[in-house]
Amino acid sequence: MLRLALILFACVALMAQEGHPMSGTWSGDWGTTPLSRSHLTLVITWDGKAISGLLNPGPDAGKIQSIYLDVPTWTVRIEAEAKDAKGAPVHISAEGKLEDLGSIHRTIKGSWQQGEAKGDFRLTRD
């Protein structure tokens, strides 16, 4: 009986260390067609009150202005500012569904709009 209690305690402790379902580094792509894709990396953090993050970290990183997670439907909405190929600012709006919640490598799939271009995206948590 003690062994079972210790195993259950260890499982709960491991699950608690994972944190917020959105926290972590997410990578994937977006595009207007299956052949026209652009790489994406999002680094998302949870400070205990709010979700925040960066889009494509590095010298040309974009600040994620807002990330909203609707827990009952597991819908994610992202608003961000980035730079286009010429360095001009461009607004990004995305909405997707958080899937594979039981997996450490969960996914988000949905629609992506960058400036006037509309397409879809898929991200996987690393």
pLDDT at 1: 54
pLDDT 10s digits, 5-45: 333 343 333 344 457 889 999 999 999 999 999 999 999 99
- Residue 79 pairs with which residues in a beta bridge? 66, 93
Contacts of 51 (CB under 8 A, 6+ apart): 20, 22, 44, 45, 67, 68, 69
Residues 29 and 31: their CA atoms lie apart, in Å, by 7
Residue 70 reports pLDDT greater than 60: yes
pLDDT bin (cut points 50, 70, 90) of residue 115 is: very high
pLDDT 10s digits, 93-113: 999 999 998 899 999 999 999
In 3-state terms the chain splits into helix, strand, coil percentages (rounded to 5) of 10, 55, 35
Q: Which three-class secondary structure state does DSSP give residue 69?
A: strand
Name all domains of the chain by residue range, CATH numbers in brackets: 20-125 (2.40.128)
Q: Give the burial string for 49-79 (b: 16+ CB within 10 Å, else e).
A: eebbbbbbeeeebbebeebebeeeeeebebe
